[in-house]
Amino acid sequence: MTVREIFESMEYGPAPEAASDALAWIAEKGCRFGHFIDGAFTAPGETFQTRNPATGDALAEVTQASQADVDAAVAAARKALPGWEGLGGPGRARFLYALARLVQKHARLLAVLETMDNGKPIRESRDIDVPLVARHFYHHAGHAQLMEGEMPGARALGVCGQIVPWNFPLLMLAWKIAPALAMGNTVVLKPAEWTPLTALCFADLCLQAGLPKGVVNIVTGDGAVGERIVVAEVDKIAFTGSTAVGRRIREATAGRGISLTLELGGKSPYIVFEDADLDSAVEGLVDAIWFNGGQVCCAGSRLLVQEGIAPEFHARLRDRMDKLRVGDPLDKAIDVGAIVDPKQRDRIAELVDAHGSEGEVHRAACDIPRGCYYPPTLIAGLSPASPLMQEEIFGPVLVSSTFRTPAEAVEIANNTRYGLAASVWSENINTALDVAPKLAAGVVWVNGTNMFDAAAPFGGVRESGFGREGGPEGLWAYARIGAPGKALKPVAAFKGDTAEPQPVDRTAKLYVGGKQARPDGGYARNVFDAKGGLIGQAPIANRKDVRNAVEAARGASAWAGATAHNRAQVLYYVAENLAARADEFAARIDRMTGGKAGAAEVEASVARLFTYGAWCDKVDGRAAQAPVRGIALALREPCGVIGALCPDEAPLLGLVSVVGPAIAMGNRVVAVASQPFPLAALDFYQVLDTSDVPGGVVNILAGDHAELAKTLAAHADVDAVWSFSSSDVSGAVERAAAGNLKRTWVNDGRARDWTGTAGEGRAFLDAATEVKTVWVPYGA
């Protein structure tokens, strides 16, 4: 074909990428791989094949890790930990810089290996994945270099078990290994069964970089290997994968006192308003759903189009779909490659065949090769309740519905159990920036999609998981401050046998929705002082009281929209009113606890309320320095409804230390008072009544922590649960929270000094907020 003919026909391709170097690397290793443990490759054991999904050809034999292999890898990581952390940040930075440069030097080899093993187009591996891998190691080398000055007191968590998926095998490895190493941790990583080759090639780079033995260990195999890592003696688990597996990991790690971050599934909305640049929105949609064949957790798989432009937009989209090129992933002229494995292709087909008839199905009129391929597909006209609108398909299938108003768009977009990402398309910046904060998503792209960078945090809410990867937010997920507190002994209530009547009889009530409420069960218990004298009665809340309190908290959502300045005024008012009754509260605390520190506790509680009033408008977001023509804003948002089990040992200060940061950041709280000493909390709601706290913002229950903890943690309308109880409820909270994968913050049976710096500050503010990254590209 002549140049003239090319310009007349606009035909292009094929432009195949040579696979010879990648195949030579595999052959050099004997086409059989063991694990990478303690700085060396082990001899291959029981193996399985990894195949090229585009051709079905076997690429290599990879070892299935046994329990002994996992134990050896964890032991090697544990042995290497003191030396690696002892290098200090600048010492570790040198190795991370070396790894970044080696990734760049071997970029083509890594890209071709990734494409052959995964099936994604070589253009994506070469131009997106591998450059981002290098970027993550460079970025986190910088964090390591600056750590000692910028993160004083930060220490490594320890040995990190990391499990990565098959859709971005090398990139997910970098997302996890780079921050872990920067903070001084050591790693045991398991790549996905279907795509292990680039992880094994990365092990080769670790050898070339001279990385100390045992710092990075890589074990291969199926899901059973991941299960062995999860239950191993590690200090952290980081997992990227399906929501179902993430839920099982949450249950398996519950009560063990280890750190956990989960980046899970998504059903991300792609919202197109009538004033959008339609051609740009169509091109963006090609990137959103057919990038990596739709096998992306944050794929824009749910198209929502404003009703007035829907026919035209769908017509343009179908026309663009028909021009997509599907074929050999090593062809640089290909748009959509192969599905990673026949099992995944069959799963996609089953979902579409079962529910596709509910809408209008359009399959791209392009040539589809034989083998592990699936045609780009659009299914329009679906109801929001359709399984295809709700379930993650994880393939090149786009589902679509319409909306009329921005409010309806937000409602439909948030009508999902997921909350990973979203895209908003509008030429009106007012519309885009009005809608973005209202979307339940950890990442929002404005007039763009699939923008990632090491400086910008990525992660989800709801059943898309918790924790962030990238930026300082992701870095702190691999660090700790200080040593764990001493073991916390359960605090028991005093006993007595004094009978009624009391000098002043008060009916024991809860505080729900801004009103005093009798407990649903009608039960109360006597509260005695240290001498056995009857002080009063405390209500005993049950499951229905929790339900009522959560409903009241959910109904007070306007608090999140109040300005930080206004929230601060309310907290100052609460502090002033508490101070006015200081003597009364001090006497109550002294009599309940049998101590003499009541006045100091009240004084500290007043100061803490002023502190969190001061913090209200000081917890800022930031502009991430991502190398894009635009801005990536890491914004702080309230978690929502927080259930909190308050400390037993500090009945008033503990309550204030938990409620204060939560409401300062715009959350609503269901607080369970100190179990042995509840009366201070029940007196405190009288202060709230006189301090302009809107009804439902703070709800106070009393009762058995072990019983109420499970109910709170299992409640689907609670967004986070904190437990500082002296009762052994941490494991129960984490297990119950697995139901909808809500965030948890528990004490693991360890004491906290509520009067000192450990009782306030950034840790509480971070736990009370989610980070939402909003990407706003710009340019004429």
Element (H, E) at 41: strand 40-41
Left, alpha or beta for 358 (phi > 0: left; psi -120 to 50: alpha)? alpha
Residue 499 DSSP symbol? P
Residue 14 structure tokens = 């094929």
- Token pair for residue 459? 């992660």
> In the block, which residue shows the tokens 């002082």?
529
Tell me which H or E stretch contains 350. Answer: helix 342-355
Q: Can 298 be counted among the known catalytic residues?
A: no
Instruction: Give the active site residue among 160, 201, 297, 298.
Output: 297
Distance separating alpha carbons of residues 253 and 226, to the nearest angstrom: 13
The span from the CA of 535 to the CA of 525, in Å, is 11
Residue 384 main-chain phi, psi, to 5 deg: -60, -25
Instruction: Give the β-pairing of 641-645 and 159-163.
Output: unpaired
Q: Measure the CA–CA gap between 325 and 43, rounded to whole angstroms.
A: 42
Residues in a beta bridge with 363: 377
Q: Residues 6 or more apart from 712 whose CB is under 8 A from it?
A: 546, 550, 643, 645, 670, 672, 718, 721, 733
Contact predicate 517/509, CB 8 Å: yes
Catalytic residue among 263, 469, 649, 707: 263
Residue 501: asked if its preceding bond is cis (omega within 30°), the reply is yes
- Tell me which residue of 706, 600, 604 sits closest to 648, measured CA to CA: 706
Q: Residue 481 CB: number of other CB atoms within 10 A? A: 14
End-to-end CA distance of the chain: 37
CA atoms within 13 A on the CB side of 709: 25
Supply φ then ψ for residue 668, to 5 degrees: -115, 150
SS (H, E, C) 488-535: CCCCCCCCCCCCCCCCCCCCCCEEECCEEECCCCCCEEEEECCCCCEE
**DSSP helix/strand/coil, 280:** helix
- Residue by residue, DSSP assigns 148-166 as HHHSTTEEE--EEEEE--S
φ, ψ (nearest 5 deg) of residue 336: -130, 130
For residue 403, what are the β-bridge partners? 306
CA-based nearest residue to 656, from 693, 704, 618 = 693
Residue 76 makes CB contacts below 8 A (sequence gap 6+) with: 37, 38, 39, 213, 214, 217
What pairing do the DSSP bridges indicate for beta strands 524-528 and 269-272? unpaired
Closest Cα partner for 163 from 222, 240, 216, 232? Answer: 240
- Distances from the Cα of 188 to the Cαs of 139, 245, 581, in angstroms? 21, 19, 55
Q: Two tokens at 609?
A: 């309320």
Q: Is 667 left (phi over 0), alpha (psi -120 to 50) or beta?
A: beta
- Residue 576, SS3 per DSSP: helix
263 noted as active-site residue: yes
Coil vs helix vs strand at 634: strand
Q: Coil, strand or helix: which one is 404?
A: coil
Spatial CA neighbour of 666 closest among 638, 688, 643: 638
The strand pairing partners of 772, in sequence order, are 635
* Class of residue 216 by CB neighbours under 10 A (exposed 0-12, middle 13-18, buried 19+): buried
CB 608 within 8 A of CB 754: no
- Give the residue numbers marked as catalytic: 263, 297
